[in-house]
Amino acid sequence: MEHITTPKVENVKLLDRYTNRKAANGTLYLTATHLIYVDASAEVRKETWILHHHIATVEKLPLTTAGYPLLIHCKNFHMAHFVIGQERDCHEVYTSLLKLSQPVKPEELYAFSYNPKMSKENREIGWKLIDLKVDYQRMGIPNDYWEITDVNKDYEVCNTYPPEIVVPKAANKAVVIGSSRFRSRGRIPVLSYLYKENNAAICRCSQPLSGFSARCLEDEQMLQAIREANPGSPFMYVVDTRPKLNAMANRAAGKGYENEDNYDNIRFKFIGIENIHVMRNSLQKLLEVCETKSPSMSDFLTGLENSGWLRHIKAVMDAGVFLAKAVKDEKASVLVHCSDGWDRTAQVCSLACLLLDPFYRTFKGFMVLIEKEWIAMGHKFSHRCGHLDGDPKEVSPVFTQFIECVWQLMQQFPCTFEFNERFLLEIHDHVYSCQFGNFLGTCHKEREDLKIFEKTHSLWPFLLQKKQELRNPLYRGFTAYKELQPNTLPFSFQFWCGMYNRFDKGMHPKQCVLDHLLSCVSQKMKLEDNASELENKLPFLDGPLPSEACSLSKVGYAASKTPMLNTPQDYEVEPPPALSNGASAGDVDVVSDVDRKHKENLLHHQGLHDLSDAIDVLDSKTKDGKLQHH
């Protein structure tokens, strides 16, 4: 609170970026964690909350006739344009927000003060919810070829890897230590995913310290052990996700890439994903396009193309597809790296896992995937997300790109993910919010040093509590789909309005189809519960007997198959002529209140049968590759 000199400013205007409506007028509050704007001009109390950690930039604009403008850009792509009446108030809010949004010490982050009134035991249970050992066991590890080793328990091998890693059984400690000395930052080849169908593995590491001619016997033995752990293939791929020019430039610094002449039976391939600086600039150009007021279609499309953003998304997706095809179709193991193995490597390994394994498309599986490929393996969230006041050149939307790639997959395969778009947005928000401890720091060792597991809470139990509103109503179950083979031609990629223009009024359809479907499914569950409760009461009331209720269920099911009953909206206008006891409207003059309620529940239930039929049709079209996206 010492950074807040003016906690309250009245008569502050909030401008709307897209509409020409009159600016809101209200009061701006600064708290220890949030900026809160209360609109006094609204008939109903309306509040806008902005978490300090979400603020990316605060900018004072030139004086206008209305007052002193303050422009706030957020890391979750929210933008707020305030106009403050007095220069002094504007300056004090500006300086306060600069300090509040850029803490210097990790202990100042929101997670260390966030208190959801949870017991110590429940907090500890929350952190144990995701156990990576269980995921490796699901893959069949340990086995004859792979083992979980604690060789890194004191971080002697690599201080950015977790204490336990999965390596080939044939690679002894001397090989592991020797390989670590030949890999940038000691990040040796370790297993990410084992495809049980054919023993092909996806492994990851950092670039070798090869320079122009250096080689390392232990590193060569490590790659040989990975290749021989897959007896079904005579070779393995080594994939460098960088553009070839970038990798060659690293040779001059004593780093570089593997020489095929030094490693037995490897096939080397460059993928060509650009570095963090290119990605940061690309996102900035994209946001400039999104913030253009009333752009023409030509200007918008030209700006989108010039940003290169979707081109980069396609490059990441292509890399993930290559890995998945190599493992599944060619039955070959793959070793992946970029420079240090914590940015592009995390992106493509995660995507390959999603394409190959339906478990990772469930709520729990997606959490495991993020823990395994991003958090445990040392993606530098603190630096890439700008959690602390540091080098702005280290900030880059690496994780944002991964989340968007998942969303792009959801557009092509709408029935294969258990979760919906809102789930992705929630995770993206909390990567930047610093409200939970999962994404703080840069690696496991740093999180231990910060006592994250003792002093903060995990995000995953919080999301699972909201599971009902984050689920995908089109999801067809774990076994409905196995591997995914997305189309990566340019026309397959869409601009994600729901991410980059999420907070802009008037930018979205008035009714999202999936949201409506989710509410229908939720309504169906409630109605089924009501119907069950009413049927239990029937024997004690003057109404139809249980046997008659059974006949009614059959009639209801038959009616649900008729073309006249389509959606729940149909019943709002004119309910079909079926009553709770199965008689026609002309046969009965008096219907009890209980029967009437029972009838209404069943009629809604009938409409929701057709909802299920619609999902089945959509599902079959998806499988046939006939689903069209607009």
- Are the C-beta atoms of 392 and 284 separated by less than 8 Å? no
Please enumerate in sequence order all residues whose Cβ is within 8 A of that of 156, keeping only pairs 6 or more positions apart, or say none.
none
Cα of 290 vs its chain's centroid, Å? 21
- Token pair 């991410």 in the structure block, residue: 499
- Strand-pairing partners, residue 358, are none
Angstrom CA distances, 37 to 51, 98, 252, 472, 556, stand at: 12, 17, 53, 33, 51
Cα of 73 vs its chain's centroid, Å? 21
| Phi and psi angles of residue 4, each rounded to the nearest 5 degrees, phi first | -100, 110
Tokens of 492: 């397959």
The counts of H helices and E strands in the chain are: 23, 14
- Token pair 């600086």 in the structure block, residue: 277
CA-based nearest residue to 468, from 515, 436, 513:
515
| Phi and psi angles of residue 194, each rounded to the nearest 5 degrees, phi first | -115, 120
Tokens of 287: 């946001």
Tokens of 356: 């190959």
- Token pair 């690309």 in the structure block, residue: 282
Our answer to whether residue 512 is catalytic in this structure is no
CA-based nearest residue to 482, from 197, 122, 146:
197
Please enumerate in sequence order all residues whose Cβ is within 8 A of that of 295, keeping only pairs 6 or more positions apart, or say none.
289, 303
Tokens of 426: 């929630």
What is the C-alpha separation between 158 and 169, in angstroms, rounded?
Answer: 19
CA-based nearest residue to 423, from 366, 504, 369:
366
625 — alpha (psi -120 to 50), left (phi > 0) or beta? Answer: left
Catalytic residue among 203, 205, 290, 338: 338
What is the C-alpha separation between 92 and 111, in angstroms, rounded?
Answer: 26
Which of the 8 DSSP states describes residue 240? Answer: E
| Cβ neighbours around 593 below 10 Å, total | 7
CA-based nearest residue to 90, from 166, 5, 20:
5
Which of the 8 DSSP states describes residue 476? Answer: -
Per DSSP bridges, beta strands 236-240 and 333-337 are parallel
What is the C-alpha separation between 323 and 331, in angstroms, rounded?
Answer: 11
What is the C-alpha separation between 480 and 619, in angstroms, rounded?
Answer: 9
Question: In this structure, is the dihedral angle defined by the CA atoms of residues 351, 357, 363 and 367, taken in order, positive or negative?
Answer: negative
Tokens of 303: 């700006």
Q: Which residues are catalytically annotated? A: 338
